Amino acid sequence: MTDKTSSGDIRHDWTRADIRALFQLPFPELMFRAAEMHRKYFDARQVQISTLLSIKTGGCPEDCAYCPQSVHFDTGVGAGKLMALETVLSEAKAAKDAGASRFCMGAAWRSPKDRDLDKVCAMVEGVKAMGLETCVTLGMLEGDQATRLKSAGLDYYNHNLDTSPEYYGDIITTRTYQDRLDTLSRVRDAGINVCCGGIVGMNESEDDRAGMIHALATLPAHPESVPINLLVQVEGTKLNGIAKLAPLDFVRTIAVARITMPASVVRLSAGREDMSDETQALCFLAGANSVFYGPRLLTTPNPVADKDRALMAELGLVPMPA
């Protein structure tokens, strides 16, 4: 049998207690199990490379406590207009030339208006025609909007659960966990790959981290891509100035994501600017196999390409073919 699922690794019946127990494993045992699972499903040298572009920045009506783009916080991020198609395409070409295989376009919307969606569909078509994989994150979607994006050639839709169901209300009040689950099922039903993860370092408990992974690993299908973000603290946001998460607790979250969603690509997502090379190396050892590449996330800095090229070379990592 070559069916890897036959071994029972890919489970949708994880209990919260199972996941809590993984978090509580001795660190070397957790790392060993994660690294073993990583090798069973992937070439552990390969890292998927995505580049992000904010196609519509700031002015967002939602109140996500972490986000510099919310109108509820004074962070100095102004509200911009939707970027012109030509600008998006020239950024995508630069990302491709620099070595990215996927281009992710983010908009600070609660949900897209239909006339905006037409413009985003043209961006998706143009980026796809360059031979890049396409990803967008535009907020909540209706079913017909997901279908239109799929027809335009969209490969991935990013929509995060962000945290555990219990902690969620402390972080966002303007839309519910169920709203997010509904968007995810519309994306899935339209045949688009799901990119869904969350943020740690928001003052949540370990049990909340377990709850977040539990929510992800018990979705009807595991997201193809699971971004694990470390909170980027931005002055003016509600979460600025809180205690930082211990780096090993971040690494543990990656390892538990890898063990519970073995066939998913796990992205060491936002927060790398604040991480040592050693912490990042532990994340790759724990099964992370994707990063954002390029000097900017949406509004905050990310390591420059030269620095990442050097780190990948030092660790013997290579880009994952699309």
**Which of the 8 DSSP states describes residue 24?**
T
Give 256's Cβ-side CA count (13 Å radius): 32
For residues 120 and 59, give the distance between their C-alpha atoms in angstroms, rounded to a whole number.
Answer: 18
Q: How far apart are CA 244 and CA 311, in angstroms?
A: 24
Over the window 168 to 207, marking each residue x when it contacts ligand DTB by CB under 6 A and - when it does not, the resulting string is -----------------------------x----------
283 catalytic, yes or no? no
| Binder among 30, 270, 275, 283 for ligand DTB (CB under 6 A) | 270
- In the shown chain, the binding pattern of residues 97 to 126 toward ligand SF4, with x for contact by CB under 6 A and - for none, equals -----------x------------------
Residue 70 binding: pick among ligand SF4, ligand DTB, ligand SAM, none (C-beta 5-8 Å cut-off by kind): ligand SF4
Residue 3 CA: distances (Å) to CA of 7, 40, 312: 8, 12, 31
Instruction: Scan residues 227-266 and list those touching ligand DTB (CB under 6 A).
Output: 227, 229, 232
Of 13-21, 144-152, 155-163, 243-251: span binding ligand SAM (CB under 6 A):
155-163
Q: CA-CA distance, 25 to 68, in Å (whole number)?
A: 35
Let me know if 60 is a catalytic residue: yes
Shortest CA distance to 290 belongs to which of 50, 51, 92? Answer: 50
Residues in the chain: 322
Q: Which of 102, 121, 180, 195 is catalytic?
A: 195
Contacts of 54 (CB under 8 A, 6+ apart): 106, 107, 108, 296, 298, 299
- Per CB under 6 A, the list member of 225, 260, 269, 290 interacting with ligand DTB is 269
Applying CB under 6 A, which part among 66-74, 184-192, 214-222, 278-286 lies near ligand SF4?
A: 66-74
Token pair in block for residue 256 = 């538990």
Contact with ligand SAM (CB under 6 A) among 100, 192, 234, 261 = 234
Name the phi and psi angles at 63, rounded to 5. -115, 30
- Of 133, 162, 204, 208, the residue at the interface with ligand SAM (CB under 6 A) is 162
Q: How far apart are CA 319 and CA 79, in angstroms?
A: 35
Residue 49 contacts ligand SAM per CB under 6 A: no
> Under the criterion CB under 6 A, does residue 70 sit at the interface with ligand SF4?
yes
Using the contact rule CB under 6 A, the part of the chain among 39-47, 121-129, 171-179, 225-233 near ligand DTB is 225-233
Report how far residue 228's alpha carbon sits from residue 257's, in angstroms, rounded to the nearest whole number: 9
Q: Which residues are CB-neighbours of 243 under 8 A, at least 6 positions away?
A: 203
By beta-carbon proximity to ligand DTB, the closer residue of 33 and 66 is 66
Does residue 160 interact with ligand DTB by CB under 6 A?
yes
- 3-state class of 204 per DSSP? coil
**How many whole angstroms separate alpha carbon 300 and alpha carbon 72?**
18
As given in the structure block, the two tokens for residue 74 are 């004074």
| Footprint on this chain of ligand SF4 (rule: CB under 6 A) | 60, 62, 64, 67, 69-70, 108, 139
Residues with catalytic roles: 60, 64, 67, 104, 135, 195, 267
| Footprint on this chain of ligand DTB (rule: CB under 6 A) | 52, 68, 106, 137, 158, 160, 197, 227, 229, 232, 269-270, 297-300
